[in-house]
Amino acid sequence: MSERRKPAKNGVAVVEFRTSKPGPALLFLGAIHGDEICGTRAMRRIIEEIRAGKITLQKGNVTFVPVCNPLAHARNVRFVKENLNRIFRPTKNPRSPEARFANILCRLVDRCDAMIDLHSITARGDAFIYLDYPSRKTRALARILGPKTAILGWPQLYKKLGRAHPSFDTTTWAAKRGKDGLLMECGQHEAPASVTAAHNAILNTLRYYGIIKGAVKHRRFTEIKMCAAFFRQRAGDRLAKNWKHLDRVKKSDNLILNADGSVIKAPYDAFVIMPKSTARVGDDWLYLGKS
């Protein structure tokens, strides 16, 4: 086995391990959003375990990018100029740091067979998977990562929203290039359990593709389809409750209390998905989904 540490381009450091036997090429991404550090910590732990001989790669190659947005990561913020997971596609004349990072990262996705993108969320809640492009292969991969819930319908929801809120994310690019790609939200940002979830997901993926030895447990998961998105309109608007991810709401329950005194109510019985009390004006604030 050989290790290649590629010179950091625009600050993006890549660590690649290659074996002498043919096999799948796996790619793991962390800190697409700079303040989401569970994937970063888990990958650095895995890298050291491989270097120390505690993990032995049997075939193929594995590429780790622990910090995909180094500028945002250094400032402990979600992004600097643009949300990297909304502009994840190549551009000829990148106009932001995130667009330059996207150019580098898209080439890595092009070279892999499967990609796992590790994130975390602001709200309290358990780990879950975004199954944006469900297929037999991606569902099989999702069943070994660990979470008990999969969220579907993100691309369809953003398409319905129109040009005001375009979305080009890691799994969209992976699907476009014919790769198996999943995004896993590993839990709350600072929760130690989120690092454990990310570490286990990496190990399970390596086992699933035969890169390392070991059996993988296949889990059933509940599928929840995203149906509505709410964006923060004014600084004085606030969420009606300190929602936890996947809290249930009933039709007509208060969701958002606007600064002008108006109230946005739940249009139907639903799950609250990824509420973000600290969202900036214009940012996605919370979603609703149905099982």
pLDDT range class, residue 278, cuts 50, 70, 90: confident
* The dihedral sign for the CA sequence 3, 5, 6, 9: positive
Q: What is the pLDDT of residues 4-58, one digit of tens each?
A: 776 666 789 999 999 999 999 999 999 999 999 999 999 999 999 999 999 999 9
CB-based contacts of 4, cutoff 8 Å, min separation 6: 15, 16, 17, 18
Q: Which residue bears the tokens 């910590």?
A: 41
For residues 202 and 62, the answer to whether their CB atoms sit within 8 Å is no
Report how far residue 134's alpha carbon sits from residue 248's, in angstroms, rounded to the nearest whole number.
Answer: 24
216/231 same-domain check: no
Q: What is the pLDDT of residue 166?
A: 67
Q: What is the pLDDT of residue 9?
A: 65
Report how far residue 99's alpha carbon sits from residue 14's, in angstroms, rounded to the nearest whole number.
Answer: 17
> Rounded to two decimals, what is the model's pTM?
0.92
Structural domains of the chain, count:
2
Q: What is the pLDDT of residue 161?
A: 84
95/233 same-domain check: no
pLDDT range class, residue 2, cuts 50, 70, 90: confident
pLDDT range class, residue 167, cuts 50, 70, 90: confident
Q: What is the mean pLDDT of the segment spanning 219-227?
A: 94
262/279 same-domain check: yes
End position of a domain, from candidates 176, 196, 220: 220
End position of a domain, from candidates 187, 220, 253: 220
User: Is 118's pLDDT higher than 60?
Assistant: yes
In CATH, what number is assigned to the domain containing residue 41?
3.40.630.10
Q: What is the mean pLDDT of the segment spanning 231-253?
A: 94
Q: What is the pLDDT of residue 35?
A: 95
Domain extent, residue 196, equals: 2-220
